[in-house]
Amino acid sequence: MLLNQFLILSAVLFSIGVYGVLARRNGVLVLMSIELILNAVNINLVAFGAFRASVGGEVFALFVIAVAAAEVGVGLAMVLLLYRNRRSIDLTLIDQLRG
């Protein structure tokens, strides 16, 4: 198998995730798109690990999975707090700091 087929798949998923983060207004959906981006990164790490026949890529993929779990926990807690205070999780309404 070519290395590039994995890297290009990962690039496609990454770009779709970037689109999701920028285009969606629902806080939960933005967090899901961030998960998509992190998964694209993981594919890259594991593919390069296989390419160099080293186990380091897989180890770092595991670290990324752990960090993603932490990020989702904190992110969803913030979305819940937002919902409790504003009765809405529309991110375009959070613009108090706008000049």
Q: Rounded to the nearest whole angstrom, what is the least distance from the CB of residue 15 to another protein in the complex?
A: 4
Query: Which 6-45 positions form the footprint of another protein (CB under 8 A)?
Result: 6-9, 11-20, 22-29, 31-33, 35-36, 39, 42-43
Of 67 and 98, CB closest to another protein: 67
Q: What are phi and psi of 2, to 5 degrees?
A: -80, 150
Q: How far apart are CA 45 and CA 54, in angstroms?
A: 11
Q: Rounded to the nearest whole angstrom, what is the least distance from the CB of residue 66 to another protein in the complex?
A: 5
Query: Which 47-86 positions form the footprint of another protein (CB under 8 A)?
Result: 47, 49-51, 53, 55-59, 61-63, 65-74, 76-81, 83-84
Q: How far apart are CA 80 and CA 61, in angstroms?
A: 28
Q: How far apart are CA 89 and CA 32, in angstroms?
A: 14
Length reported for the chain: 99
